[in-house]
Structure 1
């Protein structure tokens, strides 16, 4: 199984740290060329591999950590996303409800990635907590997952476990998934909730 993180801002770098902590190879890509990402990637760890976007989208599992409106650029990188899993770690805070057609932001993004398995996840924690060791106080830090495809969640939950987190499924994007999605200028109830699941 191959992994990539598209977007190398605070959240992308935090997720890269989670992979590096477990010595799991992960490709990272952004609008900037790979050589611009290399110094920070090397600081994080040797398993963090800067590559062009076109190479990052070849991974089996792709974490989307770009600013919300940039998902369209990533979606155009492939005509069909069949066989790939997209993990949406974006937040659409400040994007109007009208612009999203009244839908949850993840439902809008999911439509752009034709053929992919799609899971909302790793988006509710601030970057600092996401980057920190998830093993704390005799438990593991919770990450929430939501998807309209029940078969998409277990592999992402397994990745979360491998990274040291405690995955908690929330159900469909428009149901439990709305608990971790910003709406206009309102943060959802579970955003920023630092919850620990006892071991």
Structure 2
């Protein structure tokens, strides 16, 4: 599968390594490819403008800073994103004097992206964990839950396959429903920060346990 990873930060690099390692054709998209050519060299992967990366891709992955995501995706062009699976991982936030503040307190970035690009097929996932846990070792993946939100069933099926390729078994994948449920994934960021501070690490995951299930419940 041809995957365009828009964003060259920790998330983009972690996912690029993992998907390329299992045989996907990965290209990194950047607003300034020349300035980020060291990342392409580090990963041994091609680097292109946001539009050029998205044009040839089957799947576009938004791994950009959430407060800037819509503007950066506009650089790809709505015409390029039409009909494509657009996997959104970002959470928009700013660091104010009084602490961490979400930029989408009343909705979700996933919803904003779907509204901005109505013909794209947006799926929200992997936004409840740090980049260091997105391609987890098998034991961690089996005992964790990764969520999906989106309105398009076929786009979710593609995303499920990509999650499996990262190491997430089907049993750990939980479909939360339509894109509006992305609010729950993104607003979890407040609890994520608190847990990270309590543990002294960002490398952890969460697990949904139901009565009598002993593990993540799959829908």
TM-score range, shorter chain: 0.7 to 0.9
- Corresponding residue for 2:210? none
- Tell me whether 1:179 sits opposite 2:179 in the alignment: no
- Corresponding residue for 2:151? 148
- TM-score for the superposition, normalised by structure 1: 0.79
- Corresponding residue for 1:60? 58
Provide Cα deviations, 1:62-120, integer angstroms capped at 9, x if missing partner. Answer: 000111132223124323332211111110232445xx6x3222111211123111100
- Corresponding residue for 1:40? 39
Q: Secondary structure at the match of 1:145?
A: strand
- Corresponding residue for 1:21? 21
Q: 1 or 2 for the larger relative contact order (CA 8 Å, sep ≥6)?
A: 1
Q: Which runs of 4+ in 1 moved over 6 A?
A: 188-192
Contact 2:8 2:39 in 1 (8 A): no
Instruction: Flag the 1:137–1:174 CA change in 2: closer, same or farther, 3 A.
Output: closer
Contact 2:66 2:92 in 1 (8 A): yes
Q: Secondary structure at the match of 1:23?
A: coil
Q: Find the aligned partners of 2:20 and 2:2 in 1 and give their Cα distance.
A: 14
- Tell me whether 1:118 sits opposite 2:129 in the alignment: no
**How far has the Cα of 1:29 moved from its partner?**
1.5
- Corresponding residue for 1:194? 205
Q: Which runs of 5+ in 2 are unaligned?
A: 94-100, 197-201, 208-214
Q: Find the aligned partners of 1:43 and 1:114 in 2 and give their Cα distance.
A: 35
Q: CA RMSD in A?
A: 3.0
Contact 2:31 2:72 in 1 (8 A): no
How many matched pairs?
189
Instruction: Flag the 1:52–1:152 CA change in 2: closer, same or farther, 3 A.
Output: same
